[in-house]
């Protein structure tokens, strides 16, 4: 055998050995990937099983929460139609934070069942807003729209269009979707400080692609069925509600509406998605002959002070309702049944007179 042939044979052997080595490396990487995937899947299944057996309070609550909500492409969440679910949260000492039934009608409202004939000859009021309008922490009959309906009487049809997590953009969209069947004569918007952040979220949701929406819809479907998938949301709720951690908050001296307006007058006014949406809502109401009443939930937060100054300078029909400790659920911050009653009375007094001038500090509570 010549030297050249020997060299060629050696090269072929090296090439073959190198290829075999690469195949072994690829096979080794594939095995590792499969092993890692199976291990991760096994851990997730084990965690799912453990969580289902232990059934922690927040995990159970989030399951009940998801059964009342659904993903909406015009906002991150909306209420499921024709649903009834118990919500129960306890403090660490075992006492109830709240224990309520959340029941929705065929239109996805936390309200009684309705037909289009219910609107005949009546003044229709759309109550729009977030969890304070929906009646978080109280029974549906104790929410401010329900109590407002009782105060106004049969001449009025008051609709509770509130959904927790809504800002004004989403609240207005829900109102618009029901306006053909129940065209409002009056729109009452209860404004909370976090509406500004919620409107930024809604605006970003409107820019999502169809694929992005499908991913969120799939995740929403999984979250209702899997303890592991809903774990991050359960943690967020646990951090958001101090009563779940045994902290009912500290009572501070309540501000008067006039004091809050004085603070707002010193605030540097800025525009945002909420101020723009509120101005657009007023223009829409004026063009259709509807009355708009804005109720600001009084807290000395910069976002609320900004919105209050905006309403005062632009002469909105605006009221202030102070979120004092004696009106809110300890450790939660939403209105008690009596707090909802006081809010309903404030709005009812306004609607019964309906003066055209904007509210002054004497009108607020």
- pLDDT recorded at residue 33: 83
- pLDDT recorded at residue 345: 96
Ordered per-residue pLDDT tens for the chain, 365 residues: 555 555 555 555 556 655 655 666 566 778 778 888 888 999 999 999 999 999 999 999 999 999 999 999 988 899 999 999 999 999 999 999 999 999 999 999 999 999 888 999 999 999 999 999 999 999 999 999 999 999 999 999 999 999 999 999 999 999 999 999 999 999 999 999 999 999 999 999 999 999 999 999 999 999 999 999 999 999 999 999 999 999 887 666 678 889 999 999 999 999 999 999 999 999 999 999 999 999 999 889 999 999 999 999 999 999 999 998 899 999 999 999 999 999 999 999 999 885 443 444 345 56
- Whether 119 and 50 map to the same domain: the answer is no
Q: What is the DSSP string of 104-122?
A: --TTS-SS----GGGGTTS
The Cα 164–Cα 169 span in angstroms is 13
- Whether 136 and 272 map to the same domain: the answer is yes
SS (H, E, C) 138-176: CCHHHCHHHHHHHHHCCCEEEEECCCCCCCHHHHHHHHH
**Domain contains 23:** yes
CA atoms within 13 A on the CB side of 155: 5
The domain boundary residue, chosen from 33, 54, 75: 54
- Whether 136 and 20 map to the same domain: the answer is no
The Cα 216–Cα 248 span in angstroms is 34
The boundaries of the domain holding residue 272 are: 111-220+254-353
Q: What letter does residue 320 receive in the DSSP assignment?
A: E
- Whether 203 and 309 map to the same domain: the answer is yes
Residue 318's SS3 state is strand
Give the number of domains in the chain: 2
- Whether 45 and 116 map to the same domain: the answer is no
- Whether 7 and 125 map to the same domain: the answer is no
- Whether 22 and 123 map to the same domain: the answer is no
CB 110 within 8 A of CB 103: yes
The domain boundary residue, chosen from 36, 54, 72: 54
How many residues comprise the chain?
Answer: 365
CATH number, domain with residue 136: 3.40.50.1110
Q: What letter does residue 245 receive in the DSSP assignment?
A: G
The Cα 310–Cα 271 span in angstroms is 9
**Domain contains 79:** no
H or E element, residue 292: strand 291-298
- pLDDT recorded at residue 302: 95
H or E element, residue 26: helix 3-54
CB 186 within 8 A of CB 193: no
**Domain contains 86:** no
- pLDDT recorded at residue 11: 57
- Whether 210 and 276 map to the same domain: the answer is yes
- Whether 281 and 135 map to the same domain: the answer is yes
CA 359 vs. chain centroid, Å, equals 28
Q: What does each C-alpha distance from 317 to 299, 332, 345, 357, 361 come to in angstroms?
A: 19, 29, 16, 7, 12
Residue 77's SS3 state is strand
- Whether 129 and 15 map to the same domain: the answer is no
**Domain contains 265:** yes
- Whether 181 and 266 map to the same domain: the answer is yes
* Backbone torsions φ then ψ of 256, nearest 5 degrees: -85, 150
The Cα 155–Cα 188 span in angstroms is 17
- Whether 176 and 273 map to the same domain: the answer is yes
- pLDDT recorded at residue 62: 95
């Amino acid at each position: 055998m010549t030297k050249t042939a020997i060299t060629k044979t050696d090269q072929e052997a090296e090439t073959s050995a190198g290829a075999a080595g690469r195949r072994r490396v690829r096979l080794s990487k594939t095995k590792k990937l499969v092993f890692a995937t199976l291990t991760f899947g096994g851990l997730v299944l084990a965690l799912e099983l453990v969580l289902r057996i232990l059934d922690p309070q927040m995990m159970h609550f989030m399951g009940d929460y998801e059964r009342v909500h659904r993903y909406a492409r015009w906002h991150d969440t909306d209420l499921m139609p024709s649903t009834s679910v118990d919500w129960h949260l306890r403090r660490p000492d075992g006492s109830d934070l709240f224990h309520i039934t959340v029941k929705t009608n065929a239109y996805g409202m936390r309200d009684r069942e309705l037909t289009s004939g219910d609107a005949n000859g009546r003044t229709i009021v759309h109550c729009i807003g977030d969890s304070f309008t929906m009646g978080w922490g109280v029974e549906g009959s104790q929410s401010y729209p329900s109590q407002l309906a009782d105060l106004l009487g049969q001449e009025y049809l008051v609709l509770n269009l509130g959904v927790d997590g809504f800002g004004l953009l989403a609240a207005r969209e829900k109102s618009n979707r029901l306006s053909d069947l129940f065209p409002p004569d009056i729109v009452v918007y209860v404004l909370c400080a976090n509406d500004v952040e919620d409107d930024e979220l809604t605006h970003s949701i409107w820019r999502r692609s169809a694929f992005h929406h499908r991913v969120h819809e799939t995740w929403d479907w999984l979250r209702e069925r899997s303890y592991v998938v809903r774990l991050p949301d359960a943690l967020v709720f646990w951090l958001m509600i101090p009563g779940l951690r045994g902290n009912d908050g500290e009572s501070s001296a309540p501000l008067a509406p006039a004091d809050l307006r004085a603070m707002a007058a010193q605030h540097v006014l800025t525009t945002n998605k909420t101020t723009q949406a509120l101005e657009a809502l007023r223009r829409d109401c004026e063009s259709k002959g509807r009355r708009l009443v804005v109720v600001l939930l009084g807290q000395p937060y910069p976002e609320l002070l900004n919105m209050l100054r905006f309403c005062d300078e632009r002469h909105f029909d605006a009221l202030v309702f102070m979120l004092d400790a004696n009106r809110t659920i300890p450790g939660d911050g939403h209105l008690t049944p009596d707090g909802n009653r006081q809010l309903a009375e404030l709005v009812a007094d306004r609607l019964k007179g309906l003066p055209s001038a904007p509210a002054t500090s004497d009108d607020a509570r």
